[in-house]
Amino acid sequence: MSKINQIRASRYFAAKLPEIKEEIDVLTITGNFAGVLQAVVNHLKSLLQERQIKTMTSIIRDVGWVYARGSQYIKEIIGNLFVRSFEGLRKRCGVPQWQLLYCKFPPAFRKIYVRQTHNNLIKIQ
């Protein structure tokens, strides 16, 4: 089975997220997968403001599904852009919201997130 590439991943997100489908379609046409992920992150921020934690966990699970089946490029960009955005989400969440979100992260995302936050702590010291 072949790995999911940028176009297939973008189409998957467009199908799963009808609210931002048009934006994803435009970014897909221009070959901007990082932009597609940024649109997903922005959508998550909007959902957080609306306190739609269950919908957020579903989206994060979908991105985890793509990550698990993605090409090396897909994995790198999701790790570097999508998972890195979790710190911003954490700062916007209350503690109970964050705990609920965090426990629903795919294990690979938790591992990446812990590594990223650990590296940031080392740089600060």
* 82 close to 89: Cβ distance less than 8 angstroms: no
Q: How far is CA 71 from CA 56, 88, 99, in A?
A: 24, 26, 30
pLDDT tens for the 125 residues of the chain, in order: 689 999 999 999 999 999 999 999 999 999 999 999 999 999 999 999 999 999 999 999 999 999 999 999 999 999 999 999 999 999 999 899 999 999 999 999 999 999 988 765 545 44
**What are phi and psi for residue 70, nearest 5 degrees?**
-85, 165
Neighbour count for residue 109 (Cβ, 10 Å): 21
C-alpha span between 92 and 110 (Å, rounded): 18
At residue 88, the pLDDT reads: 92
DSSP state of 70: B
pLDDT of residue 120: 57
Give Cα 58 to chain centroid, integer Å: 11
Q: What pLDDT is stored for residue 117 in this prediction? A: 85
pLDDT given for residue 125 in this prediction: 47
DSSP states of 2-66 as a string?
Answer: PPB-HHHHHHHHHHH-GGGHHHHHHHHHTT-HHHHHHHHHHHHHHHHHTT-HHHHHHHHHHHHHH
What predicted TM-score, i.e. pTM, was given to this entire model?
A: 0.89
